[in-house]
Chain A
């Protein structure tokens, strides 16, 4: 068995107003794996990712990234992760290249490493000469590709991608999915992503966890889930799960 990179045990997150976003959630993500958290809006996917990314604090439970607790060792966890939020933006007054150089500076140990990261990011983004233009002039798809390139260029121990193809058209979504899959395979990066797009998850993930109302209903390999629930796609699996829990 590979090393565990993400360890979540009995995680609970209650927002002010007694809103339970995550309800006794437990799962593990292994090294080099692409793990997908899937579920409808409000299922608790983003909250879970934000806790793992050290942005939110758990109400209860334990979350460990590569041996470090996300609350007690938040600074150490941040050195291991690279996070792409669902509605992320970039500094619109910087050029794409300046943005990448700025971000690479926080991870690279020297100038050479920084240049290497930026070069890699420019390649991943596929922005070509537009990388020298201000981000304010980019389309939504270009911005998302830039942000994904920023997330992956640092070759993190764990990449956390919240709805990586959010708001993208089919062409750009396919491009982004290919980047994620190829990069993860090539560099052995562990990826934890969230999505409500079943096709995307089936295509990308080694394992998926289905979330609903903050609870994890089931987790397994996508093909195994289809077989177990005798379903043709993951949407059908989800429907059956929800009705059986009703």
Chain B
């Protein structure tokens, strides 16, 4: 009986174009297209910057110093493939950029060379044109200031060599520091910190997406029954009302899982699309330190259990709240706030530090429904399962309460007669008129 109902649920929901496209195909397509578009746009920008730099940037140097170091700057810029125009007097900079189409103007003040020679920093004023508020424009501005920065390093190495006969590279980095972080008695490189941080933000996204879909699909499932007037017949079939509710939950979970896989595949392609472009290539080096590796099999099992329980809770609440609606739209609106219930505690839980926070606060956060995936994860990472277990027990208790409320709702007559206060008054018919 259950299998029959679940198959019907899946068939009916999947054949609904709104669900099929809105929840399964659209996230996949949108993320892939977004990734491709952003990736292509970034790649285009990078190529444009490279092309501009290869033809040589047009620079104006107002040399008020006329000393050896300003000469050195001019030579350095010319070697960097820049087209450099030397001006001897201070001119209107904005006119140079606007009218004469210089991409940057560098002002070398009087005393620049004297300062450096005497061991006092010299000053340069650099004005770079921002042609537009765009990735291309800002990247180009960065590339131009980058040339000046490399000149600064060049001068620095000259001074070091002359003064000390030591390697400039050594002077810049006389000590190599190898730092480690210690987490739950295990050592990780400092680079892992940024990886942990990134994963801490990314990991809740998975349960959040699944929870959101589950609540929405469950509400749709009951909303459709009411809208299409199929609920009355369903409730008179020779099957237990609990089986009907369970079938709806099972169908919801399967569709939510499909929708989530589709979203995550789309999200993967989106991230790949963005970060595969050359400008980000090195920065997006994937860290080998995965939180999922750290927590081990038992932690992973607890994490999976917490996701399952929260998704079940969201589905049950979706089904329960959706049953108050009269159609799909009103059922959906009933569950709209579940997103907020999920989103806020889940992200709030990210900032809790179990070791530094008072015990009452830590336990309080662990008791909040929908924080379970993050709490179990953090609990497994620090190697203290207390909070994870509290969170699981709390979620299970709330789930049991939600299931009880839902089964009561399915067994009672209010599922059909709706809100009592909104019933129309009995119609008073004119006497003797039958129709």
User: Which chain A residues have a beta carbon within 8 Å of chain B's beta carbons?
Assistant: 15-17, 19-21, 40-42, 50, 53-57, 75, 78-79, 81-85, 87-94, 98, 102-103, 105-107, 134, 147, 150, 196, 198, 235, 238-239, 242-243, 246
Contact = CB atoms under 8 A, between A and B. Distances in A.
B12 A85 contact: no
25 contacts: A16-B421, A17-B421, A21-B426, A41-B427, A53-B232, A54-B235, A57-B413, A78-B237, A81-B236, A82-B236, A83-B233, A88-B233, A89-B230, A90-B228, A91-B228, A93-B12, A94-B8, A102-B8, A103-B237, A105-B4, A134-B15, A147-B233, A196-B435, A239-B434, A246-B431
Given A196-B434, A243-B432, A17 B423 contact: yes
Given A40-B429, A42-B426, A102-B4, A88 B420 contact: no
B12 A94 contact: yes
A40 to B, nearest CB: 5
A69 B323 CA distance: 27
B420 A85 contact: no
Interface residues of B, number: 34
A82 B232 CA distance: 11
A56 B417 contact: yes
A42 B433 CA distance: 13
Nearest to B429: A40
B435 to A, nearest CB: 7
A89 B12 CA distance: 14
B16 A93 contact: yes
A125 to B, nearest CB: 16
Given A89-B230, A106-B1, A55 B423 contact: no
Nearest to A134: B15
A102 B228 CA distance: 17
B152 interface: no
B12 to A, nearest CB: 5
A92 B423 CA distance: 28
Given A88-B229, A93-B11, A102-B4, A242 B425 contact: no
A7 B435 CA distance: 29
A137 to B, nearest CB: 13
B238 interface: yes
A54 B8 CA distance: 23
Contact of B417 (A15, A84, A87, A134): A15
B228 A198 contact: no
Nearest to A246: B431
Contacts of B232: 50, 53, 55, 83, 85, 88
Given A50-B416, A103-B237, 18 more contacts: A15-B417, A19-B423, A19-B425, A20-B426, A40-B429, A56-B413, A75-B238, A78-B237, A79-B238, A83-B236, A87-B229, A88-B229, A89-B228, A90-B228, A106-B4, A196-B435, A239-B434, A242-B431
Contacts of A84: 233
Identify which of B239, B412, B432 gathers the most chain A CB atoms within 10 Å of its CB. B432
Interface string B393-435: 0000000000000000000110011001101011101011111
Nearest to B415: A55
Q: Considering the complex of A and B, which 9 residue pairs feature the smallest CB-CB distances, nearest first?
A: A16-B420, A93-B15, A89-B229, A89-B228, A79-B238, A42-B427, A83-B236, A85-B232, A78-B238
B80 interface: no
Interface in B211-254: 228-230, 232-233, 235-240
Contact of A54 (B11, B228, B236): B236
A50 B416 CA distance: 10
A131 B62 CA distance: 87
A150 B230 CA distance: 13
A103 B230 CA distance: 12
Nearest to B428: A42
B230 A91 contact: yes
Contact of A55 (B1, B8, B236): B236
Contacts of A134: 15
B419 to A, nearest CB: 9
A209 to B, nearest CB: 15
A19 B229 CA distance: 24
Interface string B51-62: 000000000000
A116 B232 CA distance: 25
A94 B16 CA distance: 10
B240 A19 contact: no
Contacts of B228: 89-92
Contact of B429 (A41, A55, A102): A41
Contacts of B229: 85, 87-89
A16 B422 CA distance: 10
Interface in B1-29: 1, 4, 8, 11-12, 15-16
A55 B427 contact: no
Nearest to B235: A55
A88 B226 CA distance: 10
Contacts of A20: 426
Contacts of B413: 55-57
B432 A242 contact: yes
B318 to A, nearest CB: 20
Contacts of B426: 19-21, 42
B236 A239 contact: no
B86 to A, nearest CB: 76
Nearest to B1: A106
A107 B233 CA distance: 14
Interface in B152-190: none
Contact of B230 (A83, A88, A242): A88
B420 A15 contact: yes
Contacts of A21: 426
Contacts of A94: 8, 11-12, 15
A52 to B, nearest CB: 10
Given A93-B16, A106-B237, A106-B238, A98 B416 contact: no
B238 A53 contact: no
